Amino acid sequence: MISRFNEKGGNLLTQDEVFDRVKTIIAEKLGIEEDEIAIDSDLTEDLGADSLDLVDLVMAFEDEFNLKVEDEQIENISTVGDIVEQISKGLKLEE
């Protein structure tokens, strides 16, 4: 599990660092290259995720960032940017 802190002296993660970690997880889980993943990529239409993939991704994000994603939050997630936003809110990051 990776903490909310980055590797450079303990500062809180930035949204860019959250995005980088999210991209890595998505690439691993969906078997695609990280450079195929943009902040505005739609998880199902652009990246080919199905409903089981989405559940698997949410569980991976919860483990990676040590937070709980509520069911109503999951319903509002369709893009990579939505994920980054929800995680940033959960970690209370500054934009």
Q: Which of the residues 50, 53, 63, 82 is marked catalytic?
A: 50
Give the number of other CB atoms < 10 A from CB of residue 36.
14
Cα distances from 90 to residues 4, 36, 61, 62, 67, in angstroms, run 10, 26, 11, 10, 7
Residue 50 is among the residues annotated as catalytic for this protein: yes
CA 19 to chain centroid: 6
User: Helices 80-91 and 51-65 meet at what angle, rounded to 10?
Assistant: 30
Residues with active-site annotation: 50
